[in-house]
Amino acid sequence: MMTQLAPLTTTGERDVATVNQQAYRQKLRRRRTVVRITQAAVLAVILGGWQLFVGSDPRKVILYGEPSGIGSQLVDWVQHGTALGSLGAQIAVTLEEALIGFAIGTVLGIVSGVALGRIRFLADVFSPYIKVLNSIPRIVLGSVFVLAFGLGIESKILLVIVLVFFGVFFNAFQGVREVDRNLIANATILGGSRWEVTRHVVLPSAFTWIVASLHVSFGFALIGAIVGEFLGAQQGLGQLIKQAQGTFNANGVWAAMVIMALVALAAEFLITRLEGRLLRWRPPQLSGPDL
Amino acid sequence: MTSSLHADRSGPAIDLRGVTKRFTTPGGAVYTALRDLDLEVAPGEFCAVVGPTGCGKSTTLTLVSGLERPSDGTVTVHGRPVDGVTPGVGFVFQNDAVLPWKSVLDNVMLGPRFRSVDARTAREQARDWLRRVGLAGFEDRFPHQLSGGMRKRVALAQSLINEPEILLMDEPFSALDVQTRAIMSNELLQLWDLNRPAVVFVTHDLEEAIALADKVVVLTAGPGGTVKDTFRVDLPRPRVVQEIRFEPRFVDLYHQIWEALRAEVDIAYAQTTRAASEAS
């Protein structure tokens, strides 16, 4: 975080300020180093403890896996491929399902959220249906989709869409309803048509809400793809996990999880970038600790 | 403006006759904001509306702008009954109503763009108006990067670029500090002089009202506010807002109008304290 000091008037004060600023920066840097070292220590304790606890006892390895085994499993997959084909192909299939479903679900969610938020009649007609749909545990639909659309990626994409849609929809809907009445009145008096007001006032305002929902929604997209693959698939990380589980390969389950974590982190990074771009009009936040 | 080509120029710019406005509160109760109100503003006239809190001052503006319809009575603008958002009207809100996600220039361009003026002309006009309100060089800033006074200037430019024949202002300067407020009042008078729209300026600051207006209308305490009295302000123009309050004639007028206003303020105050004691 950059800290801006108020401009000072006399040169003497400025010198003092420079010294203070340097000392302050140094303090910040030292603090950051301490945090990093502690983080590494926490990781070392967890992995080391795990490794020591399992202690290469074959029965425990089967039950709990071990960090070194997870590492060699990953190396093995990268070098020789998995039982289902190359590791890259498994990641690609899961990502494809998650991304296509995420894109469609997000667009559908935004369009219907904005439409229902703007058009009272639609909201009145559809609200009971949406409440019912939202109340059922949607993950069950995965079985329906696998039965109806088979083991290919279509059934997973559908499950992802269903999981992503509602989060985005409710945020878009709420975002539209929270738009400052003054802004709408102002744009209307300036001569904006209903569509122009939606485009220039309602959408940008609602985007604060919508973008916030994307973080959670992408998590749901990955869950949808993986669970869809659990329920029946020929390829993908979910299928890989299921197979590892079936062969008592705990290391394999953990290794697939590590890969998923990396994918999720990369996606989170991209969404945060997108957020920064879309919401760059906002005043910089005085932030607390970042998580 | 094309939209008001057929408007009647000879009569009053704004004419409210026997206007009553009722709202239904979320609890289902009916609240009367205005009762049997008559108000007439001539073209080019600067009319200030003062009254205690809750007397329906702001409601008057939303009726003229067409954002709300009267429950009873008629609202006509240039001889035409108001039906939907009135064309040729500008509105400056009490709170910021500039779009925070658009740059200053894009904000001011909104009006022309909504009227299908091409982007280049709109940009030229917007730059021109930003210069007039003293914001040249701030085109690319976002509203949050400006001070409260500067944001008000953006709001003024945003309204005035449409060259409204009627300018409605709802306590536009109430959120500003005293000095900025005096400066903005002066600049408002200069900008008003360019096109001379009819102005309805709602405020509860009597000093501000007299310094700016040709006519001060005092409303009675709400609920169901109506016109108590109308005073003509015959102070010469151009006026300097910071200095005019020392003129004997200003002091005279202030005394007269305050006489009318004080009783209403007392009533309104008694109501709020009673409501507070009932609530507690």
pLDDT at A157: 95
Residue B6, pLDDT > 70, answer no
pLDDT at B1 over 70: no
CB contact under 8 A, B90 and A189: yes
Average pLDDT, chain A: 88
CB contact set of B9 (below 8 Å; sequence gap of 6+): B43, B78
3-state secondary structure of B21: strand
Contacts of B162 in chain A (CB under 8 A): 190-191
Q: With bands split at pLDDT 50, 70 and 90, how would you rate the model's confidence at B54?
A: confident
**Is the confidence at residue A2, as pLDDT, over 90?**
no
- Higher-pLDDT residue of B10 and B196 is B196
Complete DSSP assignment for A132-165 = HHHHS-GGGHHHHHHHHH-SSHHHHHHHHHHHHH
Q: Which of A117-121, A193-197, B224-228 has the lowest mean pLDDT?
A: B224-228
- Euclidean distance between CA atoms B246 and B248, whole angstroms: 6
Chain A residues whose beta carbon lies within 8 Å of the beta carbon of residue B171: none
Size of interface A-B (CB pairs under 8 A): 58
**Nearest CB to A191: which of B97, B99, B114?**
B114
Determine the average pLDDT of the residues in B173-192.
Answer: 90
| Rama region for B253: left / alpha / beta (φ>0; ψ in -120 to 50; rest) | alpha
pLDDT at B150 over 50: yes
Measured distance between the N- and C-terminal CA atoms of chain A, rounded to whole angstroms: 15
pLDDT beyond 90 at A115? yes
pLDDT of residue A12: 56
Question: What's the pLDDT score for residue B46?
Answer: 95
**d(CA A258, nearest CA chain B) in Å:** 39
Q: Chain A: nearest CA to B2, how far in angstroms? A: 13
Q: Which position has the higher pLDDT, A233 or B9?
A: A233
Closest C-alpha among B144, B145, B199 to residue B167: B199
Residue A118: what residue type? R
Nearest-5° Cα angle at A231, A228 to A235: 70
Pinpoint the alpha helices (H) of A201-249.
203-231, 237-246
Tell me the domain boundaries of chain B.
8-88+164-279, 96-163
pLDDT digits (tens, 9 = 90+) for B80-135: 898 888 888 999 998 888 999 999 999 999 999 999 999 999 999 999 999 989 89
Identify the residue whose tokens are 């985007």.
A207
> In chain A, pLDDT over 70 holds for what percent of residues?
92
CATH of B8-88+164-279, one of 3.30.70.270, 3.40.50.12780, 3.40.50.300, 3.30.930.10: 3.40.50.300
**Closest of A235, A263, A267 to residue A153, by C-alpha:** A235
Task: Give CB contacts under 8 A, 24+ apart, made by B85-88.
Answer: B85/A188, B85/A189, B86/B166, B87/A191, B87/B1, B87/B3, B87/B4, B88/B1, B88/B3, B88/B4, B88/B7, B88/B162, B88/B164, B88/B165, B88/B166
Query: Using 50, 70 and 90 to split pLDDT, how confident is the model at B8?
Result: low
Chain B residue closest in CA terms to A281:
B101
ipTM of the complex: 0.86
Query: Which token pair is B211?
Result: 């310094």
In this structure, of A37-41, B177-181, B214-218, the range with the lowest mean pLDDT score is: B177-181
Please compute the mean of the pLDDT values over residues B40-51 and round it to a whole number.
93
Contact A54, A66 (CB under 8 A): yes
On the question of pLDDT at A78 being above 60, the answer is: yes
Angstrom distance (rounded) from CA B182 to CA A142: 66
pLDDT at A14: 61
Residue B137: Cβ-neighbour burial (10 angstroms; 0-12, 13-18, 19+): exposed
> Average pLDDT, stretch B184-210?
92
Q: Chain B residue with minimal CA distance to A208?
A: B101
The model's pLDDT over A14-67, given as tens digits with 9 standing for 90+, comes to: 667 777 888 889 999 999 999 999 999 999 999 999 999 888 788 888 888 889
Mean pLDDT of chain B: 89
The model's pTM is 0.80
Residue B225 has pLDDT above 90, yes or no: no
Whether residue B201 contacts residue B209, with contact meaning beta carbons closer than 8 Å, is answered with: yes
Minimum CA–CA partner of B169 in chain A = A186
Band of the pLDDT at B5, cuts 50, 70, 90?
very low
Q: pLDDT digits over A201-251, tens only? A: 999 999 988 988 899 999 999 999 999 998 988 889 999 999 999 998 899
Q: Which of A181, A186, A193, A285 to mutate to test the interface with B (most CBs of B within 10 A)?
A: A186
Instruction: Give the distance from CA B200 to its chain's centroid.
Output: 5
CATH number of A67-278: 1.10.3720.10
* CA distance linking residue A186 with residue B156, whole number of Å: 12
